[in-house]
Amino acid sequence: MGKPHIGEVDYLRVFGLITIVLIHAWGFYLLMPVASPYSRIAQELGVNLLRFGRQIFMFITGLVLFYNYSGRKLNLNRFFSRRLKNLAIPYVIWTAFYLILKRSSGMLNWTGFGGFLTLWWQNVLNGNGYSHLYYILVAIQFYLFFPWLVTLFKPRRPGMTAEIIIGLGLALYALYFYLFEVRQDLVGAAVAGTPLAGITGWLFLYKDRLLVSYFPYYLLGALAGLHLDSWRRWLQDHLEVAVAFLVIAASLVISEYFYYYRRQGQPWALTISVFKPSIYLYSLAIITVFFQLSFYLERRGFLRWLVSPLAANSLGIYLLHPAILFIFNSYFWNYVHLPGFLLAILEPAAAIVISGAISTLLGSNRYTRFIVGEAGNLRNSFPWGKWREHRAVLHGVGRES
């Protein structure tokens, strides 16, 4: 849109994408028996400490949109047309695909084409087509709200605004976690038979796919996009504090895992809940530290030849990778046996490579580009022909557009 490209966002996007694929791959292993209790602890802690990918993507979405559109007249037709082609249409297509995949494995069934259409429409509305599609539904909500938000959200004191958002976010997640998760049965019993029973039950089911549930991340990203240079300077001046905060937050998450889950027998769903106040603080610390790390890597061109195509195809990889993992876990590993530690590395790596390749193929053809949305808008997103050129600038300065 005429503004310099934010190179570090590519690195942060790829980092978030990798962690999402990792927890989707490793989550399957939690259902399998292990030889050592220490292996199980390592698996569970790995999944628990990597549950921040969605938060990274939400922060990036707020940052990029406000960076690009603030101070400009928003063309609503063009804005929503792009989101329709780049997100909404792929969402409804992949919802149908994953419903068919579920049926092929015996996880789901319907009667006739009319039954399929009814089920498909229900899943389009609630994001239940597959476990990862809820995020697309949240993003669509944010895009619908964005024209009003970009007009209203113009803070003059970004530091104070950030503190207020962080504080209100902490209060929101404390409310969510302790009322809607830890005390869900008591809250449900308290409102039973009252007009609040319906809305409360609905929140229990769908709170993880509502925009308000993640609004702090979008707003903090928006604030960073509005004041990008100030945000970068603040990170450089406070990196030691941010790293210390990350260590403390990670220690808190790990301590809760051992105390509440291992010692007191807390349900696993509560242990890994993204609405835990500790996970909220930990996610903010991750975003802060790794944005600065991404800035550092971008300025040195570290693996830019690889990061750029992965970032360009991040939506396609996100939509595709669960299907690749499903095929691996349902069929492929029945014939190929690898050590567990090697499988934990190779499977997510293979899912990313295969998903990226398919996304590139679909996005390179104008007749299939609509299937992967944003990936299709970036031509030659895997520039193997320019590999030597990328190698030559590996240690150069960051690009400006």
Contact 257, 44 (CB under 8 A): yes
In the chain, the number of structural domains is: 1
Residue 178 lies in a domain: no
Residue 388 lies in a domain: yes
Residue 269 lies in a domain: no
Residue 35 lies in a domain: yes
Contacts of 94 (CB under 8 A, 6+ apart): 129, 130, 133, 319
| Cα–Cα distance measured from residue 64 to residue 4, given in angstroms and rounded to the nearest whole number | 11
Residue 293 lies in a domain: no
Contact 356, 313 (CB under 8 A): yes
How does pLDDT run along the chain (401 residues), one tens digit per residue?
A: 568 889 999 999 999 999 999 999 988 777 777 778 888 899 899 999 999 999 999 999 999 999 999 888 899 999 999 999 999 999 999 999 999 999 988 889 999 999 999 999 999 999 999 999 999 999 999 999 999 999 999 998 999 999 999 999 999 999 999 999 999 999 999 999 998 999 999 999 999 999 999 999 999 999 999 999 999 999 999 999 999 999 999 999 999 999 999 999 999 999 999 999 999 999 999 999 999 999 999 999 999 999 999 999 999 999 999 999 999 888 876 677 777 778 889 999 999 999 999 999 999 888 899 999 865 444 444 444 444 444 444 344 333 33
| Cα–Cα distance measured from residue 124 to residue 95, given in angstroms and rounded to the nearest whole number | 7
Contact 77, 129 (CB under 8 A): no
201 CA to centre of own chain: 25
* Ramachandran region, residue 267 (left: φ > 0; alpha: ψ -120 to 50; beta: rest): beta
Residue 34 lies in a domain: yes
Residue 343 lies in a domain: yes
Rounded (10°) angle between helices 184-191 and 196-206: 160
121 CA to centre of own chain: 23
Q: Other C-beta atoms within 10 Å of 24: how many? A: 23
Structure tokens at 131: 């476990």
Residue ranges making up the domain that contains 41: 1-50+301-401
| Cα–Cα distance measured from residue 47 to residue 341, given in angstroms and rounded to the nearest whole number | 15
Contact 132, 322 (CB under 8 A): yes
